[in-house]
Amino acid sequence: MVLIYLGTADPKIIDVIQKTGMEYHVVGDQECSKTMEELMHHPTTSKGKRPPFLYIYEEDASLLARSLQEEGIYIGRVAQNTPENIHWSLRDLMDEVDLAYEIDSLRTELYELVEHIDTKKFQTDANYQHLMRHAIALVEDPHASLEQLDDMVRACQKA
């Protein structure tokens, strides 16, 4: 079973899911307050205004990913069923996935910044050296917050 919040995506996604043979339900903004469990058992259909989101329940995620990739479709917001998130609302789960995506994006951006350290400045400027060491530590910290990463990216860009 796959729940798809189609939102702003191309409806062609539904055709791809159908070709895999997976059962699916389309959900939208009116269902955002319902839990994933409720939506699995009592689906309704409405339109959505956010980017697409897939919730995969007891299915082969790699099969669906391959099928979407073959059609040139990329969906960045995906979650797989867990014993915890089945009780979350659609809105909370989409927000959590969005936050994780933003954190990963900032971590990647920070990694790219520290990967290109100005070695001469690093050897001669104690403040720059301290900043870069802190940036490296944040890249490696799995608990770094969005705010910490964002602040560090900005500081490194100014340095």
Give pLDDT, residue 122: 93
Q: Is residue 59 part of a domain?
A: yes
| Residue 37 counted as domain residue | yes
* Mean pLDDT of all residues in 64-76: 90
Q: Give Cβ neighbours of residue 78 (< 8 Å, ≥ 6 apart).
A: 53, 54, 55, 56, 61, 97
The pTM of the full predicted model, rounded to 2 decimals, is 0.80
Residues 84, 6 share a domain? yes
Domain shared by 16 and 67, yes or no? yes
Could you give the number of structural domains in the chain? Answer: 2
Q: Are residues 108 and 84 in the same domain?
A: no
Q: Which amino acid is at 43?
A: P
Distance between CA atoms of residues 5 and 11, nearest Å:
11
Domain shared by 73 and 117, yes or no: no
Residue 39 structure tokens: 């939506």
> How far apart are alpha carbons 11 and 90 in whole angstroms?
20
Q: Say whether both 124 and 65 belong to one domain.
A: no
pLDDT of 155: 97
The rounded distance, in Å, linking the Cα atoms of 8 and 66 is: 21
The per-residue pLDDT for 91 is 95
Q: Which residue has the tokens 């959900």?
A: 27
Q: Over the chain, what is the mean pLDDT?
A: 92
Instruction: Kindly state whether residue 109 falls inside one of the protein's structural domains.
Output: yes
Domain assignment present for residue 140? The answer is: yes
Do residues 122 and 59 both lie within one domain?
no
pLDDT at 46: 74
Same domain membership, residue 83 and residue 26: yes
Q: pLDDT tens, 32-49? A: 999 999 998 876 777 788
Task: Tell me, yes or no, whether 58 and 108 share the same domain.
Answer: no
Q: Are residues 17 and 71 located together in one domain of the fold?
A: yes
pLDDT at position 145: 96
Average pLDDT over residues 115-122: 93
Residue 120: per-residue pLDDT? 94
Q: In 3-state terms, the chain is what percent helix, strand and coil (to 5)?
A: 55, 10, 30
> Does one domain contain both 56 and 105?
no
Phi, psi dihedrals of residue 22, rounded to the nearest 5°:
-75, 145
In a domain, 94, yes or no: no
Query: Residue 149: which domain range?
Result: 101-158
In a domain? residue 96? no
pLDDT given for residue 42 in this prediction: 77
Tell me what percent of the residues of the chain surpass a pLDDT of 70: 99
The token pair at 143 is 């608990």
DSSP string, 64-101: HHHHHHHTT-----EEE--TTGGGSBHHHHHHHHHHHH
**DSSP bridge partners of 53:** 5
Residue 53 located in a structural domain? yes
Does residue 106 share a domain with residue 152?
Answer: yes
Residue 13 shares a structural domain with residue 63: yes
Nearest to 31 by CA among 61, 3, 51: 3
End residue of a domain, out of 32, 66, 88: 88
pLDDT band of residue 86 (cuts 50, 70, 90) is: very high
